[in-house]
Structures are given as structure tokens and as C-alpha cells.
Structure 1
Amino acid sequence: MLKPADYRSDVEPTWCAGCGDFGVLAAITRAFAELGLEPHRVVSVSGIGCSSRLPLFLKNYSIHTLHGRAIPVAIGVKLARPDLTVIVETGDGDLFSIGAGHNPHAARRNVDITVLCMDNQVYGLTKNQVSPTSREWLYGSLTPYGSIDRPLNPIATMLAFGATFVAQTYAGNLQHMTYVIKEAIKHRGFSFVNIISPCPTFNRVDTFQYYKGKVKDINQLGHDPSSYEAALRVAFHDLDHYYDPEAPVPIGIFYRVQMETYEERMAKVKARYGGLEDLQEIIDACKPKRV
């Protein structure tokens, strides 16, 4: 039986001391071990950023792609090898800024991949710029007077795009993270997990101390994850803590529904039209026919 350590590579993490991503790495390896996944049957895909370095520290197959391009690469892997478990390990800047255009289409198509977003509400690797999820008036290297942008709501955004599994967890709770990541991987369809992962170096507001005692598991409070309307109601309160220091921060599974996946629909098309597995056959089939 594999243990969490069996999924770790020989490369040591290079994150700053106290980074929440250390906890995320521990939760991912625990989830893999508890699910009994074979390392050679798991593919990690990332873009650019502090969080996107995570695949370097895992022993499974990994692809470190361009900034914001993790999702289309992951889709390509899944369509080519639907038998593999495909995980996108990314951050709030990578996913909701330069890579934002890929999110709605991956979600609405219900591609069977799991997207783990390590949300530290700041650009850390490029040394302290505000990200799409940064709170208003957060100071950064390019916003010396504070950011005037309103923060994006990751949960509400992915719900609106049609993701069939949407959850949020917290890097300060290893047990909760492990559980949510396991459920996301087990889900057949597009899974999105926002992981609140504080940056102790640059974001001095949204710290572990700030979240202490404020994080509340909505599933233990009676939330029904099968209700899309209930998920939206909770999601739209998700940003209250940006404006009210006393407001709770909800974590848990917001929404989960089973729908036909993109790969299953692709299989139906192949079955209907005989299937074109060879690339040259596909190219030939697409050539215009002479009359």
C-alpha cells in the first residue's frame, strides 16, 4: 500500500517558509495515497506561479506549461488518455487572469479533470502584485496606494460557468483539504477546488491569523450541495470577509451534480461514425472532396 511519501519526488519545495502551499502538497499526497492511485496513472499539469511549481515536488507524470495554459493541456491529456487521472495545480493569478478564457469552456463541457487553485490573493512569484482575487485597497508593488479593483469570486464564477463540482477548502486544515481533494478527484466530470492558501511574504492581510476561527464548513451547517440555487446563495456571501472582518469564511463542497462528461459524449460520436483513431485518417477525412 502506497504512503503519502511515495508520491513525493526528490526535489525539495522552494516556497517561502510558512507558505500555505506546503499544506496543499501534503493534502494532495495524502489524497492520492488514500485513493490508492498509482503514480504512473496520474498526470499533474500546471502553468506559472508559486503554486504551479507543485508538480515538481510530485513523483507522478507532470507537465509544467506556459502561463495560464494548464487547462487546455490537461484537456488534451484527458482526451488522449481518458483512463488517467488528470490534475491541474494552479493559482489565482494563473487561473483567473491570463488563463481565465479557458475556464468557462472546460467547465461547460464537463471535461473530467480536477482543478486545484491555490488562492493566496496575490502574485507571489513576481514579487507582490495584486491578483484577480485580491481584496480592495490591498497594497502591492504596482498599487502603492492600494488596489481599486473589486475582487473576483472564484466560487460564484465557476458555478456560473457550469462546473459540476465546486468546493473551497483551507490550507490551515489538512484533514478538510484531504477530504475535499479526494472527493474532487472521485467526481466524474469537471471539478474545481479553491484552496485558501495564505502567502506570508507578500499578503500581510489575508494571513493564517486572519482566517483563524473564521473558517466554517458549510456542509456541517446543513448546506445541500445538490442544490445549485443554494450553492449560489452561499457563494455570493463568500466575499463578505473582504469587507467585514467578523464575517465567516465558508469552506466545503458548494455544489456537486453528476452529468455526462465530455469524454463520454466523444465516445458516442466515435461509436456513431465508426471512430477515427488514426491522425492521418482524420486529416484525410477533413480534406475537401473533389466534385
Structure 2
Amino acid sequence: MSSQAHFTDFKSDKRPTWCPGCGDFGTMNGMMKALANTGNSPDDTFICAGIGCSGKIGTYMHSYALHGVHGRALPVGTGVKLANPDLEVMVAGGDGDGYSIGAGHFIHAVRRNVDMTYVVMDNRIYGLTKGQFSPTSREDFETSTSPGGTKQSPVHPLALAMAAGGSFIAQSFSSDAQRHTEIIEQAIEHDGFSLVNTYSPCVTFNDVDTYDFFRDSLVDLAEEDHDPTDYDQARQKIMDFDNIYQGILYQDNDSVGYEKRLGIKEPMNEIPDGAPEGAMDLVREFY
């Protein structure tokens, strides 16, 4: 790379169609800044996205990208990284896309530990389909499809990630631009699968989980005596459902990405025989 990219290099010429004030603007800006700050460029970056308000983020960012089907962004990201380990792979999704129809893929992506970053725009509602409750909606959340509350316990994605053996588990807030960017930078630099659950308020359909709510509720771990490499301490924070934390809750500094453990060192299209060592083992595992 001849010169470091600026975050504006990651902006496409497509104008986002998100609602004015949507938290996804801040989420995307932090992703672009983090990619530039960690020395990446559009030429070595691949963005995978699924369905939902977050799904078109690859259209709004200037890089290689694929806008896939609902809940299937993580398998695509896995395939991209294993086919070309030189790419910086970032997967973007929403709480519905990732923790509902995509929940099975989420668990296995966490445990497999491929070196990629998963940014989930969690607004605790289905925004694209006009305001139904999502997997992370609170139990008393009233919507058109749950007028008396959801009557369901919400999914706790950080706890799911830890139970699946996650090596990097973090949470951010799209409106806290500097911290959000810093957290994603550390996720990118981590060797293995990185989850960044990002609170990204929906200003149109969710008048409960608002910007003010998260500003008043978030506890920043940068201001706490928290050691993310201490598994027991991380587990206590992650299982503390009464508080909402921002920062890196857990990080395994000894993590090694799955593609490295398989011995995949080069892009598949640059290897004469067409398959790196370990590729058939990968095919057998998936199919």
C-alpha cells in the first residue's frame, strides 16, 4: 500500500436512504474510520451484509461488497476470508438478521473463529419491516405485533458469544463516535472472530431505546477497573444483564484465526492446483 487511506476513501457515491437520524450513519462512519486507521484500503476490504436497514451498507461504502440474503452474511464472510486471507473482511448486520434467522450461523462463526469482524447494528426492533419486535427487544416492549409486550426474554448476544467460545466480545454505541471507532479498530486488529454489538437507535419505530436512553444507561468499561483478558471477570460483566456496557468485555490474546490453523496462506486463485492445504478438510466440515 503506497499511502494510507483516508476514511472518506471508503465512502461510495451512493446516498444512504436511511431515515434522518438513524444510528446506522454513526455505525458506518466508525467502520470506515476504523478501517482507514488500521491501514486498510478499499482495495483490500470486503463488506458482507444481509437483509434489514443495515443490509445496504456495502452499497454506501466503497470497497468490495456483497449484499446477501437474510441471515446469511456470516457464511459469505467466512467463505471470502478462507478464499482470500489477504482481505480485511467485515460483516455487517442487524439484531434481527444476526440473532434470529442468522442465529445458527452466528454461533458457529463464533466458535470457528475465522479472522473477521462482525458489526451488529442493534436497535432492538425490526425497522425495515415497519416496527415489529426483534430478538433483542425487551419483554415489555409494545409494538404493532406485541401490543401487550413481547412476553419473551430478550436474546443476550454477548452471552451467546461467550458460551460459543468467542475470542473477542465487545459493545459500542453509534453516537459515541470516538469510542465506537476505537472499539472497531481493536476488533479489526484481533486475530480471530470479533463481535461488536453496536447500539444503533431506530428513530422512526423505537421510541423507548433512544439515544438519550443509551447515553444515560451505558457504562463505559474504559472508566471501570476491567481487564478484558480475565475470563472470569469478563463473564461476570457479560452476565450482568442489569447494566449495559460499552467497550471490550472479553479478548483472548492467544487467539489464532481459523484460516491460519488450517494453513491457508494465499488466495486460492493464486495457487496453481486451485486448492490450499486443508481446503478439503474445510469442505468436509461444512458439507
TM-score normalized by structure 1?
A: 0.88
Partner residue, 2:200: 197
3-state secondary structure, aligned to 1:213? helix
Alignment of 1:83-94 (within 5 A): 83-94=86-97
Which residue, out of 145, 148, 154, partners 1:145? 148
Which residue, out of 226, 231, 235, partners 2:234? 231
Partner residue, 1:267: 263
How far apart, in 2, do the equivalents of 1:277 and 1:157 lie? 39
Question: What letter corresponds to residue 256 of structure 1 in structure 2?
Answer: Q
| 200-209 vs 212-221, greater mean Cα deviation | 212-221
How far apart, in 1, do the equivalents of 2:136 and 2:116 lie? 23
Alignment of 1:106-117 (within 5 A): 106-117=109-120
How far apart, in 2, do the equivalents of 1:17 and 1:261 lie? 38
For structure 1, list consecutive stretches of 5 or more residues without a partner in the other structure.
241-247, 287-291
Shift of 1:276: 9.5
Aligned in 2, Cα 1:127/1:45: closer, same or farther, shift over 3 Å? Answer: same
How far apart, in 1, do the equivalents of 2:214 and 2:145 lie? 26
Partner residue, 2:166: 163
Computed over aligned residues only, the root mean square deviation of the Cα atoms, in angstroms, reads: 2.1
Partner residue, 1:216: 219
For structure 2, list consecutive stretches of 5 or more residues without a partner in the other structure.
none
Runs (4+) off by over 3 Å? none
Alignment of 1:136 with 2:132, yes or no, is no
How far apart, in 1, do the equivalents of 2:27 and 2:93 lie? 11
Question: What letter corresponds to residue 152 of structure 1 in structure 2?
Answer: V
Partner residue, 2:51: 48
3-state secondary structure, aligned to 1:130? coil
Alignment of 1:251 with 2:254, yes or no, is no
The answer to whether the Cα contact below 8 Å between 2:168 and 2:195 also exists between their aligned partners in 1 is yes
Larger radius of gyration: 1
Question: What letter corresponds to residue 34 of structure 2 in structure 1?
Answer: A
Which residue, out of 65, 70, 73, partners 1:67? 70
3-state secondary structure, aligned to 2:137? coil
3-state secondary structure, aligned to 2:181? helix
Cα deviation, 1:123-178, whole Å, max 9, x if unaligned, reads 00011111110011211221122211111111111111111100001012000000
Aligned in 2, Cα 1:268/1:79: closer, same or farther, shift over 3 Å? Answer: closer
The answer to whether the Cα contact below 8 Å between 1:218 and 1:251 also exists between their aligned partners in 2 is yes
How far apart, in 2, do the equivalents of 1:82 and 1:209 lie? 40
The answer to whether the Cα contact below 8 Å between 2:85 and 2:265 also exists between their aligned partners in 1 is no
Cα deviation, 1:10-67, whole Å, max 9, x if unaligned, reads 0011111111111111111111221221111000000000012211100000000000
Shift of 1:269: 12
TM-score normalized by structure 2?
A: 0.89
Cα deviation, 1:81-110, whole Å, max 9, x if unaligned, reads 011100001010000000000122111111
